[in-house]
Chains A and B, each alone.
Chain A
Amino acid sequence: MIKQKPKNTILSIIAIAILLVILELIGRSKIDHYYIRILQYWSIYIIYGASFQLLYGYTGLLSLGHAGLIAIGAYAVGIFTISPATKTMSYILQPPAPFISNVQIPFIPALIIGGVFAALFGLVVAAPALRLGGDYLAIVTMGFAEVIRLLIVNMPSIFNGAMGLRAIPQSATLLMTWSVAIVCLFVMKRFENSTYGRALLAINEDEIGAEALGINVFSNKVKAFVLSSFFAGIGGGLMASVLGTIDPNTFKSTLTYTAVTICVLGGIRSATGVIIASGIYSIMSEFLRVFESPIKIGNFNFSGMPGMRVLVFGIMLLFLMLFRREGLLGSKEFSWDWFFSLFKKKPPKEQEKTVHTDKMGGSL
């Protein structure tokens, strides 16, 4: 129902607080930086997945331009947070353009600027591209992502071309990446669970029907696209700060497909699904590296082959599509009521009745 139980809201707040405390403790402990990086990736993938979900799961727009938008956010953070001295040193192809050479601002404002830039670019692309439907939109946005990448390569005075940006201050701690991810997810889900989300779902199902009910299809699509772009930019900014080094090759189309995979894996409308799928994706893509190292089975020696882990992942996805097409969770969400029903002896009540408003039932 519309009103959440206050008890559940409090539980959610406590759960999130505990999660953040644990993350902060992990961040300060002496755990190998490699594992912390995986956890950070997890949170960033949540943002990518959720922002793709907003477009694909809700509005029904297949946009494959996420890599470009992520690149914009990442480069904005890079350019605005690297110290002027480092910039003069690392821009070896051409000296940095005057308007960026002396700029240095703190991380969070830079992150927001990155998001805003990505949103602006999203708007520029959306206005013409959203007049196209279906596959055409996918092609146009894919081309757009490539245009962004090529612009970066060919404007060395701003982006340092193919050399990329180095020594980006790594201000994004584990706690910060997760906090940002939670806020982003929260904002997106609240948008999706409001009347605007319902309008997007209606557009997704039947544009003409939605238009006849007084929904401005085009402006709602643009709104969704811009919002999604903004969060893709934020995710990119976090990634730049986590990596410390970015170059145009970081933002190839594989990055877009990461977002697609997470959304498809988790369920096209489930926030819980995105969180789980991001975890699986970030952890698996590291641990599946086993398949790329030399393996000895009996008398056979397999020399490692780079790219094998992607293949394994592909096969897993294939099976998922065969046996569970709606993704791990489809459009179901975690709810405390469901959680508690696990501990009761009587069988869980039949599917909880929810309206598409505050469907999260108190999990966020």
Chain B
Amino acid sequence: MTPILEAKNLTMRFGGLTSVSDFNLTMEKGELVGLIGPNGAGKSTVFNMICGFYKPTIGEIIFDGKNITGMKPYRIANMGLIRVFQNGRLFKNMNVIENMMVSKHMRFNSNSLKAILRTPSHNREEQRVFDESVALLERIGLKEMMYEPTGKLPFGIQRKLEVARALCANPSLLLLDEPVAGLNVEETNDMMNFVDQLRNEFGITILLIEHTMRVVMSLCPKIIVIDHGETIAVGIPDEIRNNKSVIEAYLGVDEQ
């Protein structure tokens, strides 16, 4: 089986600053990989390279057997690689169901002329997209609020909704950037269950950035640790927990 995502020797330099160097990653279908590291380690840069917002200085990215290095972000998204941002990018003036339907925009076959003429095929498509979005909302338990403007929802729901919106685009690979950042314990548990559901029920491959150790250690069977742009450890949670360089990166070196 070919891996769904393969990043080879990714290096990103901003002028003289090397943000990420020689990053390698191979993900099989259905895997859940955690990417951790201290602040400024280059995790988000890795995400930005994978989904096309940055073009890596060196290296290439293979998604689904195709080289996507340097492709525009919307094209990469069209191929089924969807990213959820760290700092919340819901369309706050649109309601829940509209947010969901936007993520299906790229799956529309009708062109704008058909949309203006409201041809039967367009109407069927619109109805199908609406039904699918509602069904998904129902499945994750957010159906009651489908007409609420997303800006007015509690923060925890907003984060969940953002992941749900990405899910609505039928991704084959989901990049989650700190999904539990800013959530309280209860919301965090809810989000963890949701990520589990994504993987087990929806069968989605997930690459996860996370700061909260509890979340990463309990969710991810495989963890990659980077620090100052260098990959310092790869392994299962137990290996990571006891890895000397990881402890050093997070807690600093013991002088004695």
- Residues of A within 8 Å of B112, CB to CB, are 191, 194, 196, 223, 227
In the complex, A214 has a CB within 8 A of chain B: yes
Partner of A202, one of B51, B78, B94: B94
Once A190-B116, A205-B92 are accepted as A-B contacts, the answer to whether A213 and B77 lie under 8 Å apart by CB is yes
- Contact status A212-B89, CB under 8 Å: yes
- Contact status B115-A214, CB under 8 Å: no
Residue of A with least CB distance to B130: A2
- Contact status B89-A209, CB under 8 Å: yes
Cβ of B121 to closest chain A Cβ, rounded Å: 13
- Contact status B89-A195, CB under 8 Å: no
The complex places the Cα of A215 from the Cα of B82 at a distance, in Å, of: 12
**For chain A, what secondary structure do more than half of its interface residues adopt (helix, strand, loop), or is it mixed?**
helix
- Contact status B102-A206, CB under 8 Å: no
In the complex, A355 has a CB within 8 A of chain B: yes
Instruction: Pick from B29-37, B103-111, B199-207 the stretch touching chain A.
Output: B103-111
B interface residues, how many (CB within 8 angstroms): 42
- Contact status B78-A214, CB under 8 Å: yes
- Residues of A within 8 Å of B91, CB to CB, are 201-202, 205-206, 209-210
8 A Cβ contacts from B130-167 to A: 130, 147, 165-166
Residue of A with least CB distance to B117: A190
- Residues of A within 8 Å of B106, CB to CB, are 213-215
The complex places the Cα of A216 from the Cα of B116 at a distance, in Å, of: 19
In the complex, B189 has a CB within 8 A of chain A: no
8 A Cβ contacts from B116-132 to A: 116-118, 122, 126-127, 129-130
8 A Cβ contacts from B206-253 to A: none
Cβ of A50 to closest chain B Cβ, rounded Å: 14
Residue of A with least CB distance to B79: A214
- Contact status B77-A194, CB under 8 Å: no
In the complex, A76 has a CB within 8 A of chain B: no
The complex places the Cα of A215 from the Cα of B98 at a distance, in Å, of: 14
- Contact status A212-B116, CB under 8 Å: no
- Contact status B115-A190, CB under 8 Å: yes
In the complex, A103 has a CB within 8 A of chain B: no
The complex places the Cα of A354 from the Cα of B95 at a distance, in Å, of: 9
Count class of interface residues, chain A = 20 to 34
The complex places the Cα of A227 from the Cα of B112 at a distance, in Å, of: 11
- Residues of B within 8 Å of A354, CB to CB, are 147
Residue of A with least CB distance to B53: A208
The complex places the Cα of A3 from the Cα of B147 at a distance, in Å, of: 16
Once A2-B130, A194-B126, A353-B147 are accepted as A-B contacts, the answer to whether A213 and B105 lie under 8 Å apart by CB is yes
- Residues of B within 8 Å of A215, CB to CB, are 74, 102, 105-106
In the complex, A357 has a CB within 8 A of chain B: yes
Once A196-B112, A198-B98, A210-B102 are accepted as A-B contacts, the answer to whether A2 and B127 lie under 8 Å apart by CB is yes
- Contact status B118-A190, CB under 8 Å: yes
- Residues of B within 8 Å of A2, CB to CB, are 126-127, 130
Once A199-B102, A205-B91, A212-B82 are accepted as A-B contacts, the answer to whether A217 and B74 lie under 8 Å apart by CB is yes
In the complex, B73 has a CB within 8 A of chain A: yes
In the complex, A187 has a CB within 8 A of chain B: yes
Cβ of B244 to closest chain A Cβ, rounded Å: 37
- Contact status B127-A213, CB under 8 Å: no
- Contact status A212-B77, CB under 8 Å: yes
Partner of A213, one of B94, B97, B103, B116: B103
In the complex, B85 has a CB within 8 A of chain A: yes
Once A202-B94, A214-B106, A215-B102 are accepted as A-B contacts, the answer to whether A355 and B115 lie under 8 Å apart by CB is no
In the complex, B67 has a CB within 8 A of chain A: no
In the complex, B2 has a CB within 8 A of chain A: no
The complex places the Cα of A214 from the Cα of B83 at a distance, in Å, of: 10
The complex places the Cα of A349 from the Cα of B73 at a distance, in Å, of: 43
In the complex, B197 has a CB within 8 A of chain A: no
Partner of A198, one of B82, B83, B102, B122: B102
In the complex, B169 has a CB within 8 A of chain A: yes
8 A Cβ contacts from B59-108 to A: 72-75, 77-78, 82-83, 85, 89-95, 97-98, 101-106, 108
In the complex, A135 has a CB within 8 A of chain B: no
Cβ of A294 to closest chain B Cβ, rounded Å: 49
- Contact status B130-A201, CB under 8 Å: no
Residue of B with least CB distance to A197: B115
In the complex, A356 has a CB within 8 A of chain B: yes
Nearest 3 interchain pairs by C-beta = A209-B89, A214-B77, A214-B106
**With A201-B91, A212-B89 already in contact, 7 other A-B pairs whose C-beta atoms are closer than 8 Å:** A2-B126, A201-B102, A202-B105, A213-B165, A213-B166, A214-B77, A356-B101
Can you list 20 contacts pairing A with B, beta carbon distance less than 8 Å? A2-B127, A2-B130, A190-B116, A195-B105, A196-B112, A196-B115, A198-B101, A198-B102, A199-B105, A202-B102, A205-B92, A209-B90, A212-B83, A214-B77, A214-B78, A214-B103, A215-B106, A355-B98, A356-B98, A357-B126
Seen from chain A, the residues whose Cβ lies within 8 Å of a Cβ on chain B are: 2, 187, 190-191, 194-196, 198-199, 201-202, 205-206, 208-217, 223, 227, 353-357
